[in-house]
Amino acid sequence: MPATASDKNDRSLDDFLSDATTKINITDMYKGVHFDETLTLQNVIDLIDSYKRHAKLHKEYVMQVLRQAASLFQSLPNLHMINVAPAKHITIVGDLHGQLDDLLLILRENGLPSPDNPYVFNGDFVDRGKSSIEVCVVLFCFAVLYPHSVFLNRGNHEDRAVTQKFGFYKECIEKYDEEVFSLFCHCFRYLPLGTILQDRRVLIWHGGVPRQAVKLQDVMDIPRYEYDGLRHTNKYMKAASRLTKFEKNMQIVSDILWSDPRAQHGFDESPRGAGIDYGPDIAMRFMQANRLALIVRSHECTPLGYTYPYGEKAGMLVTVFSASNYSKASNMGAIMHIPSDDNTAPSFAQYRASASDHDFIGANLDGLYSVILDSRDALLAAFRAVDVHGRGAVSSVEWQNIMEATLHMALDWATLQPLVTSVEKDGSVAYVPFLDRYQSQAAVNRGEKAAMNKLYRHRERLEMLFHTIDKDRNGVITMEEFQDALDVLNKHLPKDMLPFEHPDQLMSVLDFTKDNAININEFLESFRLHANLTTAAKWRRAKNKLKAMHHLGMLKTVDAPAALLLHVPEDAVVSSPRVAAA
């Protein structure tokens, strides 16, 4: 391949690949994940587990992955040509932008890539998020491990100039060095531009259709590694009186990576500085010329994680964006499933990721408690309606169903259950004791209320004390341990604050199960309920916060329009759709 302007800033790819023969020398100080010379699935699983613990992969292993990925990408055509079958479906993931939590959630809920569970990752792996390196290393590992099942498309951010502006370069320098950044840039240059699902006539690439009337075969012949985001902009192209063949090819690549759909017909140059804003007529012209049933693109954040820019009925183009709460936009992320069955429409799974399910739950339990408190009477009536024999208990599944139906919140109640109630040995939930946990401040006398508020102000100190004083480390505080904690706390209270007295009375307030012991987590959450839920205004605010909770840390499946079956007969002519504004 000919030398390019980018090579002036990079060592040659051959130099990097030749380094692969150098034996990796890991110092004795490194305690992290180790890779085999030939990457294995267990290596990748160990890597993911280490990233969950915020561990850092040794530079030599990062370089090993990048060398292998660069060699793979260099061998690939501009467009992956694949079939969904024999897999049941293929998963399409949109922009991730360095948001590792989103990627880990997808892999956990949707399954790791494999020959039976293929993936297309549609570009923009890096920039803006804080974990772009980790996202790329995981994706590159899977691409190397399963080159016929994991397909990576280039996005507009997989570019040296763009990454130097939007954060990836800085991340590389802070975590590793210039050498790592340069090898990442080599990998980016050789990433394919798109993926074609031949058996479903679906084209997947990052931005949009070219302004020129081109065939996909024309795209296959472009020297994609020559594209330079800094040089091949609309401004640069306009300065040329007449585009050469090479410049036209670079303009096609720019349009593929940077363009966005719009409702109006025709096209205009994009305000992004590269690519175009294209109407449905431009998209349809390209689809008819290439006999496509659907184009899947990414590149734009959308509130629900996916959208049909030209309307669901048109169905010819869809945007999939997988970075949830992108730049604090409160958007959902989504992935797309395209089935191998011609008679089954695509579907989407939506989510909003959190660094930890337990972090998410803990941060929102106050609001959940307030909603339970506000709906206490309705819940009691619902439990009694199911409890036809008057046992005072319902099954665990019945409890979950009633909580969801009565509170109108599709939460993961199975996960939440042990945090908000007790489950008996037979799997039942005694609903009266459960609801008795949630009582308004009016049910607590004035002395107990003052003590609870004071405890709440020192909750973090108490938690540290309890973990220290919990002598048998069983997570349960006995009366004796509770007394010890209060004694220590009293010694460190401000001089103007009265000490905690009558620990037995406090214990009785907190001991819901009346077994003379308190679960630490139950204690912390129970007095937070008493201390925080003092006004109706806070209840209303908590309800608003909880409205979006069912999207957090879980995948919610949404079917595409039933009419969108992606089946286009060989002799069909695709009609022009009625455009709906995005």
Round to whole Å and give the CA distance between 18 and 27.
Answer: 22
Task: Select from 272, 170, 159, 273 the least CA-distant residue to 226.
Answer: 159
Task: Select from 109, 117, 191 the least CA-distant residue to 156.
Answer: 191
Instruction: State the DSSP H helix or E strand holding residue 90, giving kind and residue range, or none if neither.
Output: strand 89-93
How many whole angstroms from its chain centre is CA 303? 14
Contact 142, 107 (CB under 8 A): no
Q: Which residues pair with 120 in a beta bridge?
A: 92, 151
Round to whole Å and give the CA distance between 563 and 315.
Answer: 9
Round to whole Å and give the CA distance between 276 and 298.
Answer: 15
Query: Going edge to edge, which strands form the sheet with 260-261?
Result: 260-261, 276-278, 267-269
Contact 357, 553 (CB under 8 A): yes
- Would you call 491 helix, strand, or coil by DSSP? helix
Token pair 């819940």 is at which residue? 379
Say which DSSP state 513 is in: T
344-364: b or e for each residue (b if 16 or more CB lie within 10 Å)? bbbebbbbbbbeebeebbeeb
List the alpha helices (DSSP H) in 176-330. 178-189, 216-220, 234-239, 245-258, 280-290
Say which DSSP state 136 is in: H
Task: Select from 255, 181, 186, 251 the least CA-distant residue to 225.
Answer: 186
Round to whole Å and give the CA distance between 530 and 449.
Answer: 7
Task: Select from 582, 456, 553, 556 the least CA-distant residue to 101.
Answer: 553
Say which DSSP state 192 is in: -
Q: Is the peptide bond before 86 cis (omega within 30 degrees of 0)?
A: yes
Q: List the structure tokens of 544.
A: 């608003």
Q: Is the peptide bond before 561 cis (omega within 30 degrees of 0)?
A: no
- Would you call 312 helix, strand, or coil by DSSP? coil
Burial of 414 (0-12, 13-18, 19+ CB in 10 A): exposed
Rg of the chain, C-alpha, whole Å? 29
Cβ partners under 8 Å of residue 341, min gap 6? 88
Active site residues: 157
